[in-house]
Structure 1
């Protein structure tokens, strides 16, 4: 695996629209146990900020949209806000940025024109308290701020936003040495355009690159294309010196019937491949030498969020701190091929695509099966490894043997993957095969074949 000096950073969004989440002190321990040292909040909750004190975790806090009009109207308001919500915690709590508002341009309360005056006042308040050199300000924008995003080279902001808010905001970011925050979700684009966007392209699994007709650059993922559309929009306005942080991106592990692509296997593929993409380095085709810094959405499933089922199922963790699926989150895990277990548990259980919530079984009875969405080529590669160097017992899937039928790559790979997994004592990271496998808590059913749980 090649690593680049343009390796980026992975953080995570810690949303709390739920009534069943662990105490903030436990959440801080969870973050540390997973090697996550950057977290983004949606407010300045005192309990959370206090729990993060002395943790070594870098924190981005938020001034909510409902405070934008007051913040824009009067610097004395932002002085008071900074004095109350920032000064008592920093630097023991390592606040590195303030997100002023969130996706303001799509806020139904029409707060767009308050944004830049509010950002200016927050910055002036940071100067007043001598915090401007250590804390950046920005504001996360949604991709819907773009009038055009395809091809990436044609990326352009909506004309009605450019003079009133985009240019003044980018000027402020330039003057303060800050960066643009962008929320990018290939899931939305894929789900709405399954006829023209391939799932492999959305999940970083594209073997053939897509060529941008405008500049000839090659793209292997929808994520890179979306980010470069924003860069192109900035370049068109002569702000090609301003950097970017992807403040939100993720994929839901569950969704409604009309939410194409939602499912645990796809979520694991998207986030797992994204982490690898960021940590192994290299920028986008348009800015190849700039690291990608990304905040995954989200830490937990949030049961009180409204909207479609997907909205409540973006978490990497259930509220009981069990992983929804097992992916590497650090460079160490990537290089070792292992993912960090939770609470000392050996086995991380991943629900199949569209499946219900499951957690590690107390009996330890779990099986490893093929992910049919990984594609025949990846399944065959995993099967070949398991039956070869992996040392799986593949005699039962030979012609004429008890588990030969059904004679499909998926069925044979499932048997081989499970044999390997059981022989490895169901250890963390032993049911992955490059995203071609996941763990289940029910015995697999392929014809009359019985899958063993021990050797």
Structure 2
């Protein structure tokens, strides 16, 4: 009887300790970080200060952030956060930076060097959607200058890349026929060779929403939203149940067609607006797409063409911005400027 009483006491004690520990872990702690990113647009003039924004990322366990330009207030707020940052270079800065190694050194000294001890940089993206276009020829020289800087400083964990749009594909259907436009091809071949040598992915913006919105009769909603239950598009031996994979594989095919077959991709933007285009843009549709996009990225199954590989992904964007933002992009946000969710995607902070 005495042994049984002691055993019950210790069982009760252990249960209490476990319960107290679990309670302590939940109070005031961020959610378990998710291997997913969200773009932090700063165009609107109704947004909370960067310190509060970074805290919001941490509260919801968002582990990666894409910053479109080196905003000093945002970079200061990121100090010590452990959030992995993709830092963009403003498109207008590319011609000046491509002029000389010294110009790139100066940019790095101002926008990256002061933060290296406290901010985790994953990528520096040289321009946003400038290929194809008049600024495309400046991308590779800037990438090369920045790589020289990173190599000299032994910063192997920071990768240099660029962000390209889906309209860089002259052909995207079927995925196996993917090919760059002639204008894009002229600059992409050498950029891809650079990325291959550095083992760095090309960043691509992938929006099934725009394909669906442009032709909702031919592009089925379930195919655009990851909700189809079977194969929708058969391309030779490969079957596609979602448009996202088809677009990504069209990029892979285009790179192979350009003569470079060993460059991976990272999805620098994807999302679905919650308003702005009638019944095609509702909070429910936006929530469905983004939840499924996150799950698709987290399972790391790759695509039919390149299965079982990790593709990094970023949702566009953190906030619904006000009229200062451009067009329908106002409605791509996960949060309102008051930091309340537009619709539920991430687990609320405990």
Indicate whether the TM-score tops 0.5: yes
**Could you say which TM-score interval applies, normalised by the shorter chain?**
0.7 to 0.9
Unaligned runs of 5+ in 1: 1-7, 329-338, 345-455
Matches within 5 A, 1:276-425: 276-308=295-327, 310-328=328-346, 339-341=347-349
Distance, in Å, in 2 between the alignment partners of 1:145 and 1:313 is 24
Counterpart for residue 201 of structure 1: 223
Return the alpha-carbon distance in structure 2 between the equivalents of residues 44 and 219 of structure 1. 38
Cα distance in 2 for partners of 1:62, 1:202 equals: 28
Give per-residue Cα distances to partners, 1:407-451, cap 9 Å, x unaligned.
Answer: xxxxxxxxxxxxxxxxxxxxxxxxxxxxxxxxxxxxxxxxxxxxx
Residue in 2 aligned with 1:236? Answer: 257
Query: TM-score with structure 2 length normalisation?
Result: 0.87
What value does the CA root-mean-square deviation take over the aligned residues? 1.6
Tell me the CA shift for residue 167 of structure 1: 0.8
Cα distance between partner residues in 1 of 2:123 and 2:92:
19
Question: Following TM superposition, by how much is the alpha carbon of 1:165 offset from its aligned partner in structure 2, in angstroms?
Answer: 0.9
Equivalent residue for 1:249, pick from 264, 270, 274: 270
1:121 maps to 2:148: no
Corresponding pairs, count: 317
1:159 aligns to what? 182
Show the 5 A alignment for 1:138-149: 138-149=161-172
Preserved contact between residue 132 and residue 183 of structure 2 (Cα < 8 Å)? no
Contact 1:305 1:311 in 2 (8 A): no
> Is the CA contact 1:9–1:292 (under 8 Å) kept in the aligned structure 2?
no
What does residue range 184-195 of structure 1 map to in structure 2 within 5 Å?
184-195=206-217
| Residue 27 of structure 2 is aligned to residue 27 of structure 1 | no
TM-score, normalised by the number of residues in structure 1: 0.67
Aligned to 2:86: 60
Cα distance in 1 between the residues matched to 2:320 and 2:304:
33
Residue 105 of structure 1 is aligned with which of 126, 131, 156?
A: 131
- In structure 1, distance between residues paired with 2:230 and 2:291: 20
2:112 maps to 1:86: yes
Does the Cα contact within 8 Å between 2:35 and 2:63 map onto a contact in 1? no
Q: Which runs of 5+ in 2 are unaligned?
A: 1-33
Distance of 1:217 and 1:176 partners within structure 2:
29
Aligned position for 2:292: 273
Deviations 1:167-196 (A, max 9, x none): 110111112221100001001100001120
